[in-house]
Structure 1
Amino acid sequence: MLVVRALALLLALSALGGCAFGQKIDYRESSPYIFAKSDATVEISVIDERPYILSASKSPTFVGRIRGLYYNPFNVNTVSGKPLSSDIQEALRRAFDRASIRSSDAYSPSRSAPGQRLLVLKVREWKMDAYMKVRFDYDISGLVIDENGREVATKSAKSSGPVADLISAGSDALSTVVNSEEIIGALSPSSPAKQSATPAPKAPANQAYDQCMRRVGKISDPTLRASSMSMCDDID
């Protein structure tokens, strides 16, 4: 099955009538760039709270609809055949791996293992709808929980509007949460001892590099985003 990625492809499929049936999207590819730095393992839990999933009116693999020539809807599901929550969890795991941060599936949804951090992502909405345009709706929130079950940070984000690339749109949605100041601060704790051991002249450069990468991470076009990352390497 084809993977639906861009508006042009969706419009072409709609023009072919029945080809709208059976389309799939691979949100495992929606891995954002992670700006957090941590020596601790981050446990990841993604919870699907979409109301039509909880009511069992839709399968957990459901990610949206493509409409045919007569506006008749065809369900779009995950490429993996696994629940959307599993695909998003895989996208986050890949993102932490690229950031050289150890990650694992959460053992408990309410507390982390000793010395670790638990990142819980709750998905209240995550759906595309394609006809003459492609709309992507999401409503998600991230929570960081420590080993005592204490919530140390939370960040919510939601949006609804037209997009050109669903994979990039999914990555941007996740980035809005995991790269927020609240979540980064909770995943990147630093003790006074570590702070004093860091040479003072290095701090502004690190901050400048991180700020540069944050700006690059907001670029929606994946090719332009990847090519722009090299600009930050010149910041010493």
Structure 2
Amino acid sequence: MLLRAILMLCAFSALGGCAFGQKVDYRESTTYLSARSDIPIEVNVIDERPYVVSGSKNPTYVGTLRALYYNPFNVNTLTGDPLSFDLKEAIRRSLAKSSIAAPAAYSTTNANPGQKLLMLKLREWKSDTYMRTRFDYDITASVLDENGKELATKSTKGSGAIKNFLTAGSDALSVVLNSDEIVAAISSTPKQEAPAAPVAFKSTTSYDDCMRRIAKITDPALRVSSMSMCDTAK
């Protein structure tokens, strides 16, 4: 029986949590994002898990570890912060890996001017460990603009055996964050300024005056292309 207990604790440790402290750090559940954006993407996470909303479980709850006689023990966040905080940080780190500025948001209805809001809702997110670990999740990602208009939404849910808490979290987040809908809503490209038109000079301008004006052009490419305008100068 003692050996069985030790094996269970070792298995829990291998899953990415602390066996004796019963903690999981979901801040590390980052994922590669294919989205690209030159504007900041604000991030917020809302915990709508029914047992958290009702108060039967703390917002730090992330799962259950069952002992020898199936006695349940709560598994909580390593940080001591609500799970929503840790997942918000995981998403922000994922965006940062793609060079996207990702300030934490406090609004759930709209983004700040000139930005977009990426919001994740948790309806389920927990593990259950006895001889093996099952991970259940039900999440929805949405992108809102500064006026509160929903630009895209994507939901996913699943339940099954896992080998690593952090990898399972990353995979769940990736399904929604890398969906075509969310990527398209997040992505933007830098605005391209229209090339300046070549400087035109009157034919009455002397060649020397013309070249002096050309020399004042700071853009090298524009300066070279404008030199031909002096050919007609006297």
> Which residue matches 1:46?
45
Structure 2, unmatched stretches of 5+, are: 1-5, 13-17, 196-234
- The aligned counterpart of 2:10 is 12
Matched residues in 1 for 2:115 and 2:163: separation? 37
Alignment-derived partner of residue 26 in structure 2: 27
Identity of aligned residues (%): 57
Contact 2:9 2:20 in 1 (8 A): no
Whole-angstrom distance in 2 between the partners of 1:9 and 1:122: 35
Equivalent pairs counted in the alignment come to 184
Q: CA deviation at 1:190?
A: 5.0
1:186: which partner in 2? 185
Is 1:44–1:119's contact at 8 Å kept on the other side of the alignment? yes
For 1:22 and 1:73, locate their aligned partners in 2 and report how far apart those are by CA, in whole Å: 14
| AA at the equivalent of 2:34 | F
Q: Stretches of 4+ moved more than 2 A in 1?
A: 8-14, 19-22
What letter corresponds to residue 40 of structure 2 in structure 1? T
Q: What is the CA RMSD across the aligned residues, in angstroms?
A: 2.2
Q: Deviations over 1:2-48 (max 9, x none)?
A: xxxxxx9755367xxxx966410000000111110000100001000
Aligned residue for 1:113?
Answer: 112
C-alpha contact (below 8 Å) 1:116/1:147 kept by paired residues: yes
Cα 1:107–1:132 shift into 2, 3 Å: closer
Match of 1:186, SS state, is: helix
Q: Within 5 Å, give how 1:1-236 maps onto structure 2.
A: 10=8, 12=10, 22-189=21-188
Q: Secondary structure at the match of 1:103?
A: coil
Secondary structure in structure 2 of the residue aligned to 1:122: strand
Q: Which amino acid aligns with 2:143?
A: V
Confirm or deny: 8 A CA contact 1:127 1:136 kept in the other structure. Answer: yes
CA distance in 1, matches of 2:189, 2:79: 38
- Based on CA coordinates, which of the two structures has the bigger radius of gyration? 2
TM-score, normalising length: structure 1: 0.73
Measured at CA, do residues 140 and 130 of structure 1 come closer, stay the same or move farther in structure 2, by a change above 3 Å?
same
Equivalent position amino acid for 2:147 in 1: N
Give 5+ residue unaligned stretches, structure 1: 1-7, 198-236
- CA offsets 1:94-118 (integer angstroms, 9 cap, x no match): 1111110001011421011111110
